[in-house]
Chains A and B, each alone.
Chain A
């Protein structure tokens, strides 16, 4: 009746891969940010699946902390994006290459 853990892990891995592609392919920082959220949640799914597999509640605690960290990161990241947009016309991370070596 219960689903095997491995199925969830496969979904998690694919979701993570999708997020990674998004980060690398898109130039809109908002979309990139959302792709990063996808990756966070892919990891969360893994943690929850493993927690059930090993009956370890600490996996859930870990996810809780990840959610908090993600919320903080979103707040800071979005304000930075807003500030950048205020100064520039384009919503394109490729124009932000002042750190070129």
Chain B
């Protein structure tokens, strides 16, 4: 098995290279084969690795592969090593599996686009970076993948680079991500300076010897990194704007890859957070706040993709609540189900947009249930799943988190999560009813998408339906039993999950149904032509709590002001000084110019003067 797992990286990397170099000369069909095939092969490698891991005894489920020494500088060499264990294999499977489905879908969605080849090599690059992130055997190559994901997301969000909004969104995403990159880099520096190692096992084994302040600082920096990548408040601002990219990109970023990097980081570095309980609690609370906050914003959005974007932010809040309270298995489980149903929702939304030739405003849709039935059905599955209606996947994973919170004594967090779950059900069904229910609000010639797009939808719908059965109420928990031995290798075993909390489950179900019911009452039954809600609260939510404006006032404007001051200083004070020097040199040059008269005889004369001086020196020397 050794050195085979690297193929999971090699295939998409080759795909990216081939598509990038030969892209303009290949047909769309060939590019599709290369792009989808590379990710599919990578998925097969991941499956093989999974089978291999499963065949090992639980305590030995680890594939580590050191390919070469990257750098010998310092006391300890840094290896390019890959590490596949039960945590990373789950992420790999989702990244490559869901990623392959999204690639396949893209072949249909992007078929009319001129940048078809560019799209595929950048998507493959994204997969490579994300796989490197989860497969890295040390913090250093985690950072490489981390930054690579940021870069690829910059490319893809700004894919339609002729649109100013897309370019602005790409820049915003990149800048916010760099905040996280810097935090992660600083955390790794701290670890390296204090421990002299960056490999996971060594760092986790020795982390306890660090002073408390250092531990908290490292954990806090890692959390900032995770929050930036996973769009946690207040660094969530880039994710909704990232909807400017093509819809498959949104699906890839939101479901399979980028935003889960933060969850992966917290789950991977759980021994660090375990030794910094204050930071862990903060993570949980910020996650809870984000879950509620994003859910309230999602209620008032009109753009179909924007609603989904805020729902992603909200669902990520759930995952952070889970990992912040050491319920890693529940967090990873929710990541898994979320990957299925959020990819499904985005791809179905993309299918809707595709059917309506680019329309994204939900109030210009309506009645699409009859026009595009397959998309409507799969979208409904996704909506049910994210709303937490049994037996769809979201119900089990969300309940796992909420029940764990209540049993763990985190009543406040549980209450927030439950309210957010109700809001989720409300805004998702609002979206469903407005888009698919009622009758058409504008004239359109909606048409069902081609099979290359609907097949992934169906596959994801099936996964969203059955994905929850990995964990059933009453103690049957495949995720838990899969992850725990792996976790125990790196650090102290996190507390076992509490037994199923039937009460929490019942409350969550009631709240979710209440959300669905109120959505039906407001949007389903009467099918209003325009948004029935209004008032100051609605405007506040529609304005996204004015976080962007706040950031503009608190950060952007002061920086711009400082920049203008410095610019003036630079121009008035520094430039004039340097210009003086320049003028001085130019003046010297001008005054020396006559010596270059162009007359050979003058040159000969100056030559003779030089010779005379040399002779004078030699002959008059004592």
Contacts and interface: CB of A to CB of B under 8 A. Distances in A.
Answer whether A and B touch in the complex at a CB cut-off of 8 Å.
Answer: yes
B211 interface: no
A23 B600 CA distance: 9
A25 B605 CA distance: 9
B601 A94 contact: yes
Contact of A20 (B595, B596, B598, B608): B608
Contacts of B605: 24
Interface residues of B, number: 12
A101 B596 contact: yes
B597 A24 contact: no
Nearest to B592: A101
Given A20-B608, A24-B605, A24-B608, A101 B593 contact: yes
A55 interface: no
B608 A100 contact: no
Interface string A65-80: 0000000000000000
A1 to B, nearest CB: 30
Nearest to A99: B598
Question: By CB atoms of chain A within 10 A, which of B593, B596, B599, B608 has the most?
Answer: B599
Nearest to B606: A24
A100 B601 contact: no
A56 interface: no
B604 interface: yes
A3 interface: no
A36 to B, nearest CB: 10
A100 B594 CA distance: 8
Contacts of A94: 599, 601
B597 A96 contact: no
Contacts of B599: 93-94, 97
A98 interface: yes
A89 B69 CA distance: 75
A24 B600 CA distance: 8
A27 interface: yes
B598 A98 contact: yes
Contact of B596 (A24, A32, A96, A100): A100
Nearest to A16: B611
A97 B601 contact: no
Contacts of A97: 597-599
Nearest to A36: B604
Contact of B595 (A25, A32, A98, A101): A101
Interface in A12-53: 20, 23-25, 27, 32
B600 A96 contact: yes
A41 B292 CA distance: 102
A23 B606 CA distance: 12
B475 to A, nearest CB: 93
Interface string B8-28: 000000000000000000000
A4 to B, nearest CB: 19
Interface residues of A, number: 14
Contacts of B594: 101
B72 to A, nearest CB: 54
Contacts of B604: 20, 23-24
A23 B601 contact: yes
B616 to A, nearest CB: 14
Nearest to A35: B604
A98 B608 CA distance: 22
A31 to B, nearest CB: 12
A99 B608 CA distance: 20
A99 B599 CA distance: 8
Contacts of A93: 599-601
B598 A101 contact: yes
A94 B605 CA distance: 14
Interface in B570-603: 593-601
A24 B601 contact: yes
B600 A100 contact: no
A96 B600 CA distance: 8
Contacts of A96: 598, 600
A92 to B, nearest CB: 11
A93 B604 CA distance: 12
Interface in B32-56: none
Nearest to A93: B600
A76 B479 CA distance: 91
Contacts of A23: 601, 604
Output the residue of B594, B597, B601 with the most chain A CB within 10 A. B601
A93 B603 CA distance: 12
B261 to A, nearest CB: 62
Contacts of A32: 600
Contacts of B596: 99-101
Chain B CB within 10 Å, residue with most, of A25, A93, A101: A101
A97 B600 CA distance: 8
Contacts of B593: 101
A24 B604 CA distance: 6
Contacts of B597: 97, 100-101
Nearest to B602: A24
B572 to A, nearest CB: 35
**Max count, chain A CB within 10 A of own CB: residue among B595, B600, B608:** B600
A27 B608 contact: no
B619 to A, nearest CB: 11
A27 B604 CA distance: 12
A94 B599 CA distance: 6
B588 to A, nearest CB: 13
A25 B595 CA distance: 18
Contacts of A25: 601
Interface in B287-306: none
Among A24, A97, A99, max chain B CB count under 10 A is at A24
A83 B291 CA distance: 89
Given A25-B601, A101-B596, 15 more contacts: A20-B608, A23-B601, A24-B605, A32-B600, A93-B599, A93-B600, A93-B601, A94-B601, A97-B598, A99-B596, A99-B598, A100-B596, A100-B597, A101-B595, A101-B598
Interface of B: 593-601, 604-605, 608
The 9 closest A-B pairs by CB, nearest first: A101-B596, A97-B598, A100-B598, A99-B598, A101-B593, A23-B604, A24-B604, A24-B605, A93-B600
10 contacts: A24-B605, A32-B600, A94-B599, A94-B601, A96-B598, A96-B600, A99-B596, A100-B598, A101-B593, A101-B595
